[in-house]
Chain A
Amino acid sequence: MEFLRRAANPWNQDVWIGISWDLMWAAVIGGLAFLVLHAVIAWRTPKAESTAVAETGDPAIPDRILRHSAASRAFHWLMSVTMFVLLITAFFPLVGIRFAWVTIHWIAGIGLILTIVYHVVYATMKQDLWSMWIGAKELKEGTQEVVGFLKRSPPATSSKPGKYPIDHKLYHNTTAVITLAAIATGVLMMVRVDTPFWARNPYLLSDQMWGIVYVVHGLSGVALIATIMAHIYFAVRPEKWWITLSMINGFIGKKEYLAHHDPKRWVVTPGPGARGGGAAPPKVTGGAAQSPKAVPQDKQSDRLT
């Protein structure tokens, strides 16, 4: 299998022109293999005893806990639409479904950039940026969890995460890096497309530099195929439905909260004006326990968002 597509430029110099599209199939196959493997192991693994704390939680904890604000959900779904459009316009023509894809692709790319800019601004202003930080302890726990999963014996002492479990954080951060690489290269590639705003100029960078840009864009594209396959897979797994549902309606139940989260790491208290019973949406905070900038515990509860 070739990894790169190369060509002789007009001066007969060897240049990269992109990744081999075999890598697209490699990503699909790799992604599928992961899903199958995971599904088989998960199926053969005995269900862990559910921790029976659900019923006895702190009465201050509301029945419904907001996991994703409307704004976050809007971002997620808008971004996923642009991402799908980008992937479809990028890869469907390669598998023989032919249509004029370039304009749709770059417009969707701009859409993606806008949603991500929104997300970054929102996360900076309204959310805790550090909530996606992965600390050493968490990493250790995560490793144990993976090892346990593979051995089909979840660690008994598994500690519970804050708002975002380590696998979510890893996924988020990996995808963020890949997406940003795709965006950065994609923005450069926009110079080579005629838009209403500028005429294309393929000579902004040297052939060799463009080769790198195309390879990075291609690699991030195929990587997104695999990561998104995994994302969808987990979203539809029955044991994760509660999370998937929260991306639709925003909330998780108190039971899930207590079962899957460490209330110390993700502190949930009713907001001012809460009349109990959880009728009004409580305010929640993302746990910052793993933040390297140690935030005093007492302050954490103030960090209501």
Chain B
Amino acid sequence: MATIGQDIAPPDLVAKVTGRAKFAEDFRAEGMVFAKLLLSPMPHARVRRVDASEALAMPGVLGILRAEEVPQVDAPREACLTDEPLYEGEPVLAIAAVDETTAADAIDRIKVDFEPLPFVLDPLESLRPNGPDARIGGNYFFRPRGSDIAEFRSHKWTDADFAAAGEGQMPMGEPRTEWSVGDLDAGFDQADLVLDETIVHQTLSHHPMEPRSCMAYWQNGKLYIHPSTQSTARTAVGIARSMDLDPDDVVLIGPYCGGGFGSKISGSPTMLIPAVMSRKIGRPVMMRINRYEETYIGRSRPGFQARVKIGFRNDGRVTALDLYIVEDGGAYGSGDFNTAGTVASLSYQPLAMRLRGVSLYTNTPPRSAQRGPGGAQIVGMLEPIIDKAARQLGIDRVAIRELNAPDNNGWLGPQQGRLTSAYVREALAMGKEIFGWEEKSRLSGQRNGTKAIGVGVGLSPFVGGSTGYDGLVVIRPDGKLYVHQGIGNLGTHSMADTARAAADVLGLPWDRVEVVWGDTSKHLPWSSNQSGSQTIHAHTRANHAAGIDARRKLQQIAALDWGGSPGDYVVGGGRVYHRSNRNQGMTFGRAARRAIQLRGKFSGYEMDDDLNAMTVASVQALAGQGLIGAAKDNYGREGSTWTFVVGFALVELDVETGQVDIKEYTAVADCGTVIHPRSLAAQIHGGGVQGFGIARSQRWVYDPQWGVAFAKRFYTARPPGILDVPLEMKWGAVGIPDPQTPVGAKGIGEPPVGAGSAAITSAIADALGGQCLCRTPLTLDVILAALEGREQPYGPLETHV
């Protein structure tokens, strides 16, 4: 029986639920000591002087690490320690001591003389004619393609730009990026309804359960490192590059990762600190990151201040979409807004579209991808506006999405790229059915005491796969298939689930498959990052290719031993045998032994020459241990792979308190072939819950006077908890295979977030009688002010509140 489509517990499950799983901070090494960080108290400063004499004189203190001792990077990139901190909480130096308490006490006794420098939190402030810049030299990094120029410059708007904006509207000065498709003016000319809205989307911390702790030590010139990272192979390569080491000299062991959401794609800059400190003091160094530090160094989703003008025909068709996004790029820059524009084009397939944007540096913590980067922000913001149009045009809200949604002929982005598949209408239809849209949408606006019912729907596309990585499998004499995985274990099960492609190609039951992951000393193939919803697509392909390679070799060995041509032999049930005589064949175990004897390509002494160097090294190391299947994913693909998730929500809004209670939630995905239903449900629901937090409660707050963060603990940042989630959440998957990938699966990690967020912003707007507050999070103060007709607690463009 094929493993694909089955609920099979992943191999890491028991260790996780019993607590035996070792996360970064659980590793130990002989003589291990602890490091603590000194963080900048100011949003932008220069270290003038450090006096650590008192700290270093303390018993048990072993050393200090300063910015000049760590790997240096070119602007605008981020080093792991700095003497010019660019945000409050940026690590300035580290201290190592025999225990953590001593290290902390030592930090306590260091005197640092910081010179405060000008800072800015809000990109719109930086755009003002004399507004402050986040960096000395400017607020954006100028590095045109094909030029040697690489420097900070200042991008400003004029007073006239600011004056031109109406009351509460976002001004729109000169953008830094602009693209358009079609004739925008003609698009608006065709429109029967034009909406023009100003929107604010907050920045959000990632808040993974496991902070980015790391332990490192050196042995015989090799760096052994235990970071908290989403990816394995790619992080090891990245560390080698940063530390100027040969990739073979980095042994990365990190089989578990307590969540990353895009913040630990290839680890984090700070993971180098214990590595460098360990080299300096000659002891293994553990740096445990606490929640407080994690909120600073743990990355965040960039916030948007945006203006959107959308034209609709009477039938609901989007004729023109003009989007202007000002993005808060944080201390080290970001480009989410480009993806936001692409996602908007894909969702609504406008007859004409323009994206303008400017992403500016601010003195706030670094941004990075966060689960659906750009996409989750834009759908949460635009979907209630689509609802508003539907309401004004008298169209059903699902119908307006069906009308505009892409199909297999859809396009996206400035190049009007093509898709491998899109079954959005099918997903909407399935969602309507499961959620009961016809009946639920009739409840819209009904009152139950002080509670008003709101029903919402949100469509969220996101990119769902990459190609071209390597698969590596070994059939050992024990008859088992060992699938080597260079991707990480982010908790999504993809390190196990993508192995099924090889298992199914070889017709092997799952109990005879071993997944090898999380340790680069175990010889892993070149892999995609464990991010961008790539892995289920990229590595079902790569493992499929490796499985095919192994199958071919099994057939060849059988033909060598039993005669005939390889094509006469079939593989299944742990054996390779002649199609007309089951007894004419051998077990996988025997085939593995034969492969070892035969050497050459069969057991890894020879291999395809298109494999990545990392895979080559791994195959060489594994050579002679069994039958090796190693292949690059050379399956073709035209267009890009996108997944679509539609979310449906029913909320109750208490009109006396502004509180929103999510009563029902359903999400349906067009993610191609379903590999692992239970895991898919976890992704759809988990992402949905993250979206609920974006829409309703999660905050990112700064004091504007001091540029200092407040929402840096779970209870102040308010990600949703178990009681903020409906008791029952339903899901579905269209299940139509993507035609351009052998297994048919598309990635699912990211689009559920936008679906959750958009379904809630849409449902809240519905409960408010169609009023789009055009801001996230929609906390009860914002809602209550609208209900009571009082002044909004924040200005229409106010951010970091």
Chains A and B in contact, CB within 8 Å? yes
Partner-B contacts on A (CB < 8 A) = 10-13, 203
B112 → A minimal CB distance (Å): 8
Which residues of chain B have C-beta atoms less than 8 A from A10's C-beta? 41, 703, 706, 708
Q: Are B116 and A11 in contact (CB under 8 A)?
A: yes
Which residues of chain B have C-beta atoms less than 8 A from A203's C-beta? 705
A-B contact pairs, 15 of them (CB 8 A): A10-B41, A10-B703, A10-B706, A10-B708, A11-B41, A11-B42, A11-B114, A11-B116, A11-B706, A11-B708, A12-B41, A12-B42, A12-B114, A13-B114, A203-B705
Which residues of chain B have C-beta atoms less than 8 A from A11's C-beta? 41-42, 114, 116, 706, 708
Task: Identify the 8 closest CB pairs spanning chains A and B, nearest first.
Answer: A12-B41, A10-B706, A11-B42, A11-B41, A10-B708, A203-B705, A11-B116, A11-B706
Mark B17-60 against chain A: 1 for CB-CB distance below 8 A, else 0.
Answer: 00000000000000000000000011000000000000000000
Which residue on chain B has the smallest CB distance to residue A9? Answer: B706
Q: How far is the CA of A172 from the CA of B607 in the complex (A)?
A: 102
Q: How far is the CA of A203 from the CA of B703 in the complex (A)?
A: 13
Q: How far is the CA of A183 from the CA of B402 in the complex (A)?
A: 72
Q: How far is the CA of A203 from the CA of B706 in the complex (A)?
A: 11
B628 → A minimal CB distance (Å): 58
Which residues of chain B have C-beta atoms less than 8 A from A13's C-beta? 114
Which residues of chain A have C-beta atoms less than 8 A from B703's C-beta? 10
Q: Tell me the chain B residues, 692-738 only, with Cβ under 8 Å from chain A.
A: 703, 705-706, 708
Q: How far is the CA of A12 from the CA of B42 in the complex (A)?
A: 8
Which residue on chain B has the smallest CB distance to residue A203? Answer: B705
Which residues of chain A have C-beta atoms less than 8 A from B116's C-beta? 11
Interface size class of B (residues with CB under 8 A): under 10
Which residues of chain A have C-beta atoms less than 8 A from B706's C-beta? 10-11
Q: How far is the CA of A11 from the CA of B708 in the complex (A)?
A: 9
Which residues of chain A have C-beta atoms less than 8 A from B705's C-beta? 203
Q: How far is the CA of A97 from the CA of B116 in the complex (A)?
A: 41
A100 → B minimal CB distance (Å): 27
Q: How far is the CA of A13 from the CA of B705 in the complex (A)?
A: 15
Mark B107-122 against chain A: 1 for CB-CB distance below 8 A, else 0.
Answer: 0000000101000000
Q: How far is the CA of A134 from the CA of B706 in the complex (A)?
A: 50
Partner-A contacts on B (CB < 8 A) = 41-42, 114, 116, 703, 705-706, 708
Which residue on chain B has the smallest CB distance to residue A12? Answer: B41
Q: How far is the CA of A10 from the CA of B704 in the complex (A)?
A: 12
Q: Name, among A10, A13, A203, the residue most crowded by chain B CB atoms within 10 Å (CB to CB).
A: A10
A24 → B minimal CB distance (Å): 31
B19 → A minimal CB distance (Å): 38
Which residue on chain A has the smallest CB distance to residue B708? Answer: A10
B109 → A minimal CB distance (Å): 13
Additional A-B contacts beyond A11-B42, A11-B706 (10; CB < 8 A)? A10-B41, A10-B703, A10-B706, A10-B708, A11-B41, A11-B114, A11-B708, A12-B41, A12-B42, A13-B114
Which residue on chain B has the smallest CB distance to residue A10? Answer: B706
Which residues of chain B have C-beta atoms less than 8 A from A12's C-beta? 41-42, 114
Q: How far is the CA of A11 from the CA of B703 in the complex (A)?
A: 12
Q: How far is the CA of A203 from the CA of B704 in the complex (A)?
A: 12
B67 → A minimal CB distance (Å): 18
Q: How far is the CA of A203 from the CA of B705 in the complex (A)?
A: 9
Q: How far is the CA of A288 from the CA of B800 in the complex (A)?
A: 67
Which residues of chain A have C-beta atoms less than 8 A from B708's C-beta? 10-11
Which residues of chain A have C-beta atoms less than 8 A from B114's C-beta? 11-13
Q: How far is the CA of A11 from the CA of B42 in the complex (A)?
A: 5
Q: Name, among A11, A12, A13, A203, the residue most crowded by chain B CB atoms within 10 Å (CB to CB).
A: A11
B688 → A minimal CB distance (Å): 38
B322 → A minimal CB distance (Å): 39
Q: How far is the CA of A10 from the CA of B705 in the complex (A)?
A: 10
Q: How far is the CA of A203 from the CA of B114 in the complex (A)?
A: 21
Q: How far is the CA of A13 from the CA of B45 in the complex (A)?
A: 12
Which residue on chain A has the smallest CB distance to residue B41? Answer: A12
Which residue on chain B has the smallest CB distance to residue A8? Answer: B41
Q: How far is the CA of A10 from the CA of B707 in the complex (A)?
A: 10
A78 → B minimal CB distance (Å): 40
Q: How far is the CA of A79 from the CA of B800 in the complex (A)?
A: 49
Q: How far is the CA of A13 from the CA of B41 in the complex (A)?
A: 9
Q: How far is the CA of A10 from the CA of B119 in the complex (A)?
A: 15
Q: How far is the CA of A12 from the CA of B41 in the complex (A)?
A: 6
B286 → A minimal CB distance (Å): 26
Q: How far is the CA of A11 from the CA of B363 in the complex (A)?
A: 14
Which residue on chain A has the smallest CB distance to residue B88? Answer: A11
B363 → A minimal CB distance (Å): 13
Q: How far is the CA of A176 from the CA of B116 in the complex (A)?
A: 40
Q: How far is the CA of A196 from the CA of B110 in the complex (A)?
A: 45
Q: How far is the CA of A203 from the CA of B42 in the complex (A)?
A: 17
Q: Name, among B41, B114, B705, the residue most crowded by chain A CB atoms within 10 Å (CB to CB).
A: B41
Which residues of chain A have C-beta atoms less than 8 A from B42's C-beta? 11-12
B710 → A minimal CB distance (Å): 11
Q: How far is the CA of A12 from the CA of B708 in the complex (A)?
A: 12
B95 → A minimal CB distance (Å): 17
Which residue on chain A has the smallest CB distance to residue B45? Answer: A11
Q: How far is the CA of A264 from the CA of B165 in the complex (A)?
A: 79
Which residue on chain A has the smallest CB distance to residue B42? Answer: A11
Which residues of chain A have C-beta atoms less than 8 A from B41's C-beta? 10-12
Which residue on chain A has the smallest CB distance to residue B116? Answer: A11
Q: How far is the CA of A13 from the CA of B42 in the complex (A)?
A: 10
B38 → A minimal CB distance (Å): 11
Q: How far is the CA of A12 from the CA of B111 in the complex (A)?
A: 10
Q: How far is the CA of A10 from the CA of B114 in the complex (A)?
A: 13
Which residue on chain A has the smallest CB distance to residue B706? Answer: A10
Q: How far is the CA of A10 from the CA of B41 in the complex (A)?
A: 7
Which residue on chain A has the smallest CB distance to residue B705? Answer: A203
Q: How far is the CA of A38 from the CA of B554 in the complex (A)?
A: 114
A13 → B minimal CB distance (Å): 8
B158 → A minimal CB distance (Å): 28
B117 → A minimal CB distance (Å): 11
B711 → A minimal CB distance (Å): 16
A53 → B minimal CB distance (Å): 69
Which residue on chain A has the smallest CB distance to residue B43? Answer: A11
Q: How far is the CA of A30 from the CA of B490 in the complex (A)?
A: 71
A205 → B minimal CB distance (Å): 13
Q: How far is the CA of A11 from the CA of B114 in the complex (A)?
A: 9
Which residue on chain B has the smallest CB distance to residue A202? Answer: B705
Q: How far is the CA of A297 from the CA of B659 in the complex (A)?
A: 86
A69 → B minimal CB distance (Å): 51
A210 → B minimal CB distance (Å): 13
Q: How far is the CA of A13 from the CA of B114 in the complex (A)?
A: 9
A219 → B minimal CB distance (Å): 28
Q: How far is the CA of A13 from the CA of B116 in the complex (A)?
A: 10
Q: How far is the CA of A288 from the CA of B42 in the complex (A)?
A: 60
A204 → B minimal CB distance (Å): 12
Q: How far is the CA of A244 from the CA of B708 in the complex (A)?
A: 58
Q: How far is the CA of A139 from the CA of B705 in the complex (A)?
A: 52
B50 → A minimal CB distance (Å): 13
Q: How far is the CA of A13 from the CA of B111 in the complex (A)?
A: 11
Q: How far is the CA of A11 from the CA of B706 in the complex (A)?
A: 8
Q: How far is the CA of A205 from the CA of B2 in the complex (A)?
A: 73
Q: How far is the CA of A284 from the CA of B706 in the complex (A)?
A: 61
